[in-house]
Structure 1
Amino acid sequence: MIGALIYAVAINYFLIPNRIGEGGVTGLTALGYYTFSIPPALTNVVLNGILILIGFKFLKRETGFYTLWAILWISLFLRIPVFFPYHTDQTVIAAISGGVLMGIAMGLIFRAKGTIAGSTILAKIINRYYGIRNGSAMLFFDLTVAIPSGLIIGFQNMLLTVLELYISAVVLNKYLEAFGAKRSVLVFSTQNQAIGEALTSNLGQGVTMLKATGFYHQQDTDVLFYVCSNQDWTVVMPIIMSIDPKALVVTDQIRSVRGMQLSNL
């Protein structure tokens, strides 16, 4: 609901008052408003209803229901009268502000296991089956609507729309990476047993011990494998270094973890 509110504010207060378009279904709602004065809330419900049916087929039912919930609230918030629309001659400010708000709004909704339908449903499907980041996939689909919109809103506003879409995609990717991505950790140490016990007791999460063989000396050794959130990462390194300051630690950013729960590793 908070994400839906921020999304509606971005449209009603920053984009529409400055005649800036959008991508996907939202872009079509803006074009319908500019051209035929069709209420954005009506277009939003009709077009997104079709895409939600597609989402139910390719995504989890939970995602479909949360998407429907988000769309209903976005449509409701779009109907609230606009009291202080942001009009400015420096329309790039409106494009940047709208893009940041859009990215934050979609990040909140994505983190709550929903989408805003439109291109975000297509982006979710692409992310699920091909691993492409949500923001990047969404940007691709949005541009297919935003670029032709220049025929209606003008070339300058089309460029501003592309800028807004790019900013929202970057903010969305960064938001999901900060709050949803994981880190994988490989630890090479003679104290791996103690490090594993410390990580488990402090973070309440399972650790995996792998068998490895050093190529040069042909010696068998244990390698500790651990997956953690970015928030926990700030605690993981101090724990490892406090037990073995000479430990070799290799980390990598991973976008998602599926399957067995981490606590069962």
Structure 2
Amino acid sequence: MKKPSSTIFRNCLTIILGSFVYSVAVNDLLLPHQIGEGGVTGLTAIGYYALHIQPAITNIVLNTIILLIGFKLLDKKTIFYSIWCVIWISFFLKMPSILHYHTQQTLIPAIIAGVFMGIALGLIYRANGTIAGSTIIASILNKYFGIQTGTAMLLCDLVVALPSGLIIGTERMFLTVIELYISAVVLNIFNNMFGAKYSLKIITPNVEQMSAALSDQLKQGITMVHTHGYYSGEKRAMIYIICTKKQVAQLFPLIEQIDPDAMIVIEQVHSVAGHELNMLK
């Protein structure tokens, strides 16, 4: 089923906002204080420091190559939004400085840039996009191996950030690592707050009533898993649901109302692919 035009429009606007915040972090905090970055952005910074190549040019060239690699491994929706994101980041990188902030205490811009980067990436991921570069690799690791996006990005970015010390110096290399770590933490927090998925396993004797109520509340199908109790020998269906954190809060009062003694297991899901099996309509 195709997404409504309003959803696509909202995602495109969200990506533009995330691209703007990301570019502000690069133009106003990283480059003026000679702090590096990871992934493609780190390579653009190195190119800027060593060869005076405009970051917008490096960003487009390198990300085009990586997008061609990700084209076969990621869905076309993600690729489309990623191309949209790369275009806007390249556009905003050509804009002049906005904050005009400069300080000798380089730890401060490293921390602020990390927060900005984490929020920017959270917005872009929330809209089903990536900034290409290492985020394409992080998306692949998340999709196929279940590694949290922020953690996967940190691992990929360190591959570029650590050798950058040969150009920007050891001190600024350490500042880069600090910035990357803060960015990864903020991104994971952002995803946990707004985009995390949770799995609910519910065991109750009131299976039919519980399933019907939950399905009506969520407006979706409910997956039933057949279980067998080792001690009691009793066969019973277990209710299995994938939902958001907000939906978890909505379901708990309903579950307690139907069966206060129901056994509930909640786990955070790091990666969800495909659609939930709608075994009970």
Normalising by structure 1, we get a TM-score of: 0.93
Report the Cα distance in structure 2 between the residues aligned to 1:159 and 1:88, rounded to whole angstroms.
17
Read off the aligned partner of 2:33 and give its amino acid letter.
N
Alignment partner of 1:226 is 2:218: no
Report the Cα distance in structure 2 between the residues aligned to 1:9 and 1:32, rounded to whole angstroms.
18
- Give the aligned partner of residue 170 of structure 1: 185
Alignment partner of 1:9 is 2:24: yes
Q: Does structure 2 retain, via aligned residues, the 8 Å contact 1:12–1:85?
A: no
Query: What secondary structure sits across from 2:71 in the alignment?
Result: helix
- One of 241, 260, 265 as aligned partner of 2:256: 241
Report the Cα distance in structure 2 between the residues aligned to 1:58 and 1:210, rounded to whole angstroms.
31
Q: How is 1:146-225 mapped onto 2 (pairs within 5 angstroms)?
A: 146-225=161-240
- % same residue: 51
Q: Does structure 2 retain, via aligned residues, the 8 Å contact 1:14–1:94?
A: yes
- One of 77, 82, 107 as aligned partner of 1:62: 77
Report the Cα distance in structure 2 between the residues aligned to 1:210 and 1:126, rounded to whole angstroms.
28
Task: Please report how far the alpha carbon of residue 223 of structure 1 lies from its aligned counterpart in structure 2 after TM superposition.
Answer: 2.2
Deviations 1:74-111 (A, max 9, x none): 01101111143221222222111111111111122122
Q: How is 1:130-149 mapped onto 2 (pairs within 5 angstroms)?
A: 130-149=145-164
| Root mean square deviation of aligned Cα | 1.8
- Give the aligned partner of residue 96 of structure 2: 81
- Give the aligned partner of residue 257 of structure 1: 272
Task: Please report how far the alpha carbon of residue 250 of structure 1 lies from its aligned counterpart in structure 2 after TM superposition.
Answer: 1.2
Q: Does structure 2 retain, via aligned residues, the 8 Å contact 1:180–1:256?
A: no
Q: Does structure 1 retain, via aligned residues, the 8 Å contact 2:223–2:279?
A: no
Unaligned stretches of 5+ in structure 2? 1-15
Q: How is 1:36-51 mapped onto 2 (pairs within 5 angstroms)?
A: 36-51=51-66
Query: What secondary structure sits across from 2:72 in the alignment?
Result: helix
Read off the aligned partner of 2:190 and give its amino acid letter.
Y
Deviates more, 1:75-84 or 1:169-178: 169-178
Report the Cα distance in structure 2 between the residues aligned to 1:257 and 1:84, rounded to whole angstroms.
38
Q: For residues 57 and 223 of structure 1, do their structure 2 counterparts lie closer, same or farther at Cα, with a shift above 3 Å needed?
A: closer
Q: How is 1:109-148 mapped onto 2 (pairs within 5 angstroms)?
A: 109-148=124-163
Task: Please report how far the alpha carbon of residue 262 of structure 1 lies from its aligned counterpart in structure 2 after TM superposition.
Answer: 6.0
Read off the aligned partner of 1:161 and give its amino acid letter.
T
Q: Does structure 2 retain, via aligned residues, the 8 Å contact 1:205–1:262?
A: no
Read off the aligned partner of 2:46 and give its amino acid letter.
L
Unaligned stretches of 5+ in structure 1? none
Normalising by structure 2, we get a TM-score of: 0.88
Deviations 1:113-165 (A, max 9, x none): 22111111122222223222222222112111111111111111110100111
